[in-house]
Structure formats: C-alpha cells, structure tokens
Chains A and B, each alone.
Chain A
Amino acid sequence: MKKAVLVLVCLAVLVSAAQAVSPEPRFGVGAFAGLNIPVIQKDQKSGTEFGFRARIALLPFLVAEPNFTMVKWGKPDAVDGVVLGIDGSKVTSFGLDATLGFAPGTKGFKPFGIIGIGSYKVKNDDTKYDQSNIGFCGGIGFGIGVAPKIDIDVRGKAVVIPQTDGGSKKGLSLTAGLGYSF
C-alpha cells in the first residue's frame, strides 16, 4: 500500500512539473514489443518482450516514462549433453525511465538516451526461482514522428537486476513500438 501511495505521489509531482514547464505536447502513451537477450546466462535463451508506457514531458528534452514490461526468456540449450527441458524465466517489471533527447509528439528523427530504475520480478516455475529486486537500465533509442502526435519508437536498453545474494541477472532489450502524444 505504501509503495502504491509513493508511486502515485511521484506521478503527481511529475505531472505538475510537466504542466509547469513543458510546452505542448506534454503527455503520451505507448506500446512496444521486441526481443530480450539474456547476457551471460547459460540457463536462458533469447525471448520476447512487450509492454506499455506513459510519457510525461518534463522539459523540452527530458521525458519521464512510467512503464510496465513483461519478458519471457527462451528454453536453454543442452549443457554437456544434458537436455535441460525447462522453460526460460519470466521477468515482470514496473519501472520509471527518463529519456534525454528530443521530446515525442513532433515530426522528424529524434534520438535520445535512456536511464531507468524499476522493480523487477524474475521467476521460473520449473526451477522454483523467484526473486524481486530493484534493477537499473540504460540505453539509446530514436523516435520517428510519422504524424503530428504519433511516433514510431525504437530503442535498445541494457537491464541489470541485482540478485538478493549477490550477482545479477542481465538482459539486452531491443524493442519497437508506437506512441501517441496529447
């Protein structure tokens, strides 16, 4: 409950800041899908990712993006002749990214950098692995304004999810999507 209240307060502050300083358009929504490649993880293979994001333009070049993402990694390869036969893990996250670059909702080619933080749940029903931790991401992307309020959004992010007992799960996210600004 406390976390939900904190998230709502943060969103309210972001919205207020956007209204105070940012030119139109200030808000947007988007959906995305693509590929997620686990990094240095022999028990997973590449899988799919999809999600949704909101966009709040705080400054002409700074956009806050609350987002929800679901990842399903693929079945691992055989190891030393042993067919593991298990599914890849599922990763569910609620995050807040900040993009630094051109704001959405305008025409043209718009590159940007990305940093973010989120709550990531990594779960595998076969191995009974189940951990939720704060994770971080960073990357680059670009938007293509195809209409006054519609963007095609392409981005690549590296995601690092520290584990409770040390080490981390890492993945490379490559997604494309659409955004609508208003």
Chain B
Amino acid sequence: MKHLKTRFGLAGLLLIALVTGGCLIVSGTFIVVADFDFSTFDQDYHYSVDVTQESDWQDHKDNIDFVDAVGFQMDFTNNSGSAVTFDVWIDTAGAPGSTPGAGATKIIDGLSIPATPVQSHMSYAQSLSYITGLDRLKALAKEGKFEYYGHASVEGTFNVDSGKVIITVSGSK
C-alpha cells in the first residue's frame, strides 16, 4: 500500500509538472477571415488586404509565430461565352498603383474560369492547389496587410463578384 501511494504520488507530481509547463506555453492555431472589396479598372482588380482589424487577429497579433496557410475564396460571373483566364499578384502593403509593379509576386497563374456555369466559385481548398510563391505570400500575410492584384483576360462580360482571404496562423503567449 505504501509503495502504491509512493508511485501514485510520483506519477501525480510528474503529471502536474507537465500540465503546468504546458499551461505556461499557451499556444494555438487560429483562422482569420476577411472580405475583399475590390476596386475594378477594366480588366484589373485591386484590393489592399488588411486583416489587422479582425477580432481573431487582434486577439493574437503580438504573438503570431508562424503562418500555417493562406488561401482565398472567390466568386466569379463569366458572361463572355468562353473561358476566362485570371491571374493574381501580391505585393507589400502600400505598394503604389492599382496594377502589379516590379516588386509584385504572381501567386495564381492562369486560373481558368469556365463559361458554364455562368457563376462559378473557387473554394479555399481549391485556391491552395493553385497558389505559387507561397513563401512570399506567407511572409506578407504575417504582417496582416498586403496588396492584392487580379487581372482577367477579358473585361465587361466577366466580373469577380466577391472574395475572401483566409489566413491560418499559429501563435503563443
């Protein structure tokens, strides 16, 4: 019985030490979602992404260690009668102009938007398979702000109806 108590006591102390240590390192993975509000110029789309005012970002902004993933959700209307190609670039927040400059990084190259159905949707999961330049995208996303530029192969009969950016971050306290 004495040995049993000793063993339980030791095991309990070990568990308390581990749990306490874990509590001191309160970290987690969180997802921040922000809507786009594009400015449209003929075939070009521009948005200054800023997630820093989102509540989830505000809660963890001082302790963001790593960006696990960045993706987009977008809805399109294509009345052109044929597939439209859509490209996306990103650049540092505050980069001048409504079209991508020399310092911009292309992250979606040649996304094909079909003519049927007229309205189509690119999910977050689908966007992850299209994105390139991931390192730069994650680096800019970690700042919470970046410039987003889109370019469609046609104008007038094609429109980006809506978009969201979804950023998964890991942070600790």
Contact = CB atoms under 8 A, between A and B. Distances in A.
Interface of A: 39-44, 61, 76, 79-86, 100-102, 111-113, 115, 124, 126-129, 136, 138-140, 158, 160, 163-170
Contacts of B118: none
Contact of B66 (A76, A140, A167): A167
A124 B125 CA distance: 12
Contacts of B65: 163, 165-167
Contact of A158 (B7, B19, B73): B19
A69 B26 CA distance: 24
A43 B68 contact: yes
Contact of B170 (A61, A100, A136, A167): A167
Interface of B: 3, 7-8, 10-12, 14-15, 17-19, 22, 25-31, 33, 65-66, 68-69, 71, 73, 123-126, 128-129, 134, 164, 166, 168, 170-172
27 contacts: A40-B26, A40-B29, A42-B28, A43-B68, A84-B124, A85-B124, A86-B124, A101-B7, A112-B11, A113-B15, A115-B18, A124-B69, A127-B69, A127-B128, A128-B69, A128-B128, A128-B134, A139-B18, A158-B18, A158-B19, A160-B22, A163-B66, A164-B66, A167-B27, A167-B29, A167-B172, A169-B29
B122 to A, nearest CB: 11
B128 A126 contact: yes
Given A113-B12, A115-B14, A165-B65, A84 B166 contact: yes
Nearest 6 CB-CB pairings of A with B: A113-B11, A40-B28, A166-B65, A138-B18, A85-B125, A127-B69
A149 to B, nearest CB: 22
A141 B10 CA distance: 14
A82 B28 contact: no
Contacts of B12: 113
B27 A158 contact: no
Contact of A127 (B8, B18, B168): B168
Given A138-B18, A158-B18, A86 B128 contact: yes
Contacts of A160: 22, 25
